[in-house]
A and B are shown apart, each in its own frame.
Chain A
Amino acid sequence: MVVALAWRNLWRRPTRAILSVLGIAFTSALLVFLISLDRGIDLAMKTNFLGVYDGFAQVQARDYAIDFDMHKTVERPAVLADELRKIRGVGAAASRVVAFGVAATPSRSVGATFVGVDPRQEVGVSRLASTVHQGRYLQVGDTDTAVIGDILARDLKVTVGDELKLLGSGLDGSVAADRLHIVGVFHSGTGDLDRQIVEMPLARAQQTFAFGDRANVIALGGESLPALEAATPAIASKIKRNGAELADWRMLEPSLRDSIVIKTVTSGLFYAVLVLVVVFIILNTLLMSVLERTREFGMLLALGMRPGLVGSTSWLEMVFLALVGAALGVGLGSAFALWIEHRGIDYPGGGGALLAQFGLPSRIYASLDPVSAFTAPGAILLGICLAGLIPFLHILRLKAVPAMRSA
């Protein structure tokens, strides 16, 4: 009876009800879209950053992330990588040997990171191959080849076709020395990579650095970061018996994690203020409505209706308003977010170049998921439910006769 009464009361002033519903719906829709866009930008940042070199996640030897000590290795990485590729969400699993040494030419020498890679798998994990602007990337069947970053190439004064000498330490403490031929120069846009990285065939690196059948990491790629994150439990259980551990994107790029956290907190504050404003506007409207109906409530109380029941009716009116508005907001906001998720938004002029510095593409897309669809409307709904207690308590304090005498 209370529900029916509340619903009927709500539409006794249809203009006010509709305006309130539209206010809630518009704010909810706006927040659904903005949060979806925010999450889309976050996802683009993560995907682009990780896709350059790291991969969406990495299987690493235990504690490797602490000091990148090349002596921390994963045993039989080829077998493990094969098993990992069978997991849904894992598209590529690329074993890597990562060793430090001197890259030298007859006249120059520079400290470098030598990365042994399997080119067949590597292209599914890292975009480095697509950034080769001179020569070519490593190919299956290569033996003594190398691709190097363009800053490193400039520092060493080498180009495609030149010989590069490698001097470092092997896993067994022996001298690691090798001659490689440069087949490609890449420009990833990430200074550290372009200044530091020499990629060479995995088997050659394992031989040169005395790794045997071992690697330091297995970089993982796939169709999307969320799909790979969904596969995390399966990956973790698969690698447990190898004594390895899974480094997710937060571990691989802590600075990216921190910047996303900061961005989320500042956006969250803005959204919270917006939710509060809407809740107070609705509360004000409903409180006015309750005050206008004081005589009516007094009469109901005089007829014997319990104060709690009268208050609940009024509280339910607010809840209905919020429910209808939030549902509409979720619908409208989701539809718009889905459209932008499909179509994307262009940044005209130099905006694209600016975004590229932050690892973002020039066109950004929204990302609608349960979090972006329901967080803000849920917060508005909860806020109104709580705010509705104010008119409820006001009604509880009413006395029948004074209420009926009120103007």
Chain B
Amino acid sequence: MATASLVAKRAVAADPGDATAILKQAFDNYRAATSQATMVMTVHRPEWERQMTVSSWTRGGEDALVRFVAPAKDAGNASLKLAQDTWMFDPKLNQVIKLPPSMMAQAWMGSDFSYNDLAKSEDLLNYYRHRLLSVRSAEGRSFSRIEAVPKAGAPVVWGKVEIEVRDDHVITEQTFFDQDMKPARKMLTEKVGPLGGRPYPLVITLYPQDAHGRWTRVETTAARFNLPIPGYLLTLSNLQNPRGS
């Protein structure tokens, strides 16, 4: 107990720059310079549950391509994010559609994630000030709890975000607070394991607050990091006509 208290005191007194560094390392661990992953997304509702398999490619923190491969009904649907813009492709319509700003808050593929979650994944690093709240120890590891508060005038929706990062740079928990500082949703890492040569959050579940029995789980089943990504891959042309990706 005394040790834990000492650790906590040390953490609170730590340089605020530490918090930003911890967060940046965690983001770098999660996405690397480039990545290619296969994920299973489960959307759970009290009345139904639905599983979708997706392949994703990321380049830096800004660009990403997500292509649905199963079930058959959704296969071929894809989202491309380049910087702040997002496009959708639907094989039934055979058309690339740029997502208008008014749609960014809508649910992505019926999940609890919004298009904003895809498009603004870097916001936490760029538009928030970070402060180390505490450090706790459990199961032989230490966990840093960081508070992220929006910078003045930042174009973000959350009042603040609290993030917990394990000492091996895995984000284990994110709590998003609304503008009234009430928790709006929580993202928990429910399984950590080695993947692509690094410790990785294998199962992440998003629980909206006050939405009993609703959650969205993303399970990463395979991933490679820092692999060369051809230039054509993250393009509108490849979104519509995939070239062996």
Residues on A lying within 8 angstroms of B by beta carbon are 71, 100-102, 104, 106, 109-111, 165, 167-170, 172-175, 177-179
Contact = CB atoms under 8 A, between A and B. Distances in A.
Contacts of A175: 73-74, 77, 90, 92, 109
Contact of A177 (B50, B90, B111): B90
Most B Cβ at <10 Å: residue of A71, A173, A178: A173
Contacts of B109: 169, 173, 175
A110 B97 CA distance: 10
A106 B45 CA distance: 34
A109 B98 contact: yes
Contact of B93 (A110, A169, A179): A179
B90 A169 contact: no
B33 to A, nearest CB: 31
A109 B100 CA distance: 6
Nearest to A106: B95
Nearest to B103: A111
Contacts of A102: 88, 97, 99-100, 103
B97 A174 contact: no
Interface SS, A side: strand
Contacts of B98: 109
A111 B48 CA distance: 27
A172 B48 contact: yes
B142 interface: no
A173 B88 contact: no
B110 interface: yes
Contacts, number: 64
B97 A109 contact: yes
- Shortest 9 CB-CB distances between A and B: which pairs? A173-B110, A111-B102, A111-B103, A177-B90, A173-B50, A104-B97, A169-B110, A177-B92, A111-B100
B77 to A, nearest CB: 5
A165 B93 contact: yes
A204 B145 CA distance: 50
A200 B103 CA distance: 20
A100 B106 CA distance: 8
Contacts of A172: 48, 50, 110
Given A109-B99, A165-B97, A174 B106 contact: no
A167 B93 CA distance: 9
B97 to A, nearest CB: 4
A178 B95 CA distance: 11
Nearest to B50: A173
9 contacts: A71-B45, A102-B103, A104-B93, A109-B100, A111-B101, A168-B106, A170-B110, A173-B45, A175-B92
Given A106-B95, A165-B97, A173 B43 contact: yes
Contacts of B102: 110-111
B107 interface: yes
Nearest to B71: A174
Nearest to B43: A173
Contacts of B93: 104, 165, 167, 177-179
A65 to B, nearest CB: 17
B95 A165 contact: yes
Contacts of B107: 169
A169 B50 CA distance: 13
A104 B88 CA distance: 11
Given A102-B88, A177-B93, 14 more contacts: A104-B95, A106-B95, A111-B100, A165-B95, A169-B106, A169-B109, A172-B50, A173-B50, A173-B109, A173-B110, A173-B111, A174-B110, A175-B73, A175-B77
Contacts of B74: 174-175
Nearest to B90: A177
Contacts of A168: 106
Contacts of B92: 175, 177-178
B113 to A, nearest CB: 12
B39 to A, nearest CB: 15
A175 B90 CA distance: 8
B184 to A, nearest CB: 13
Contacts of A104: 93, 95, 97
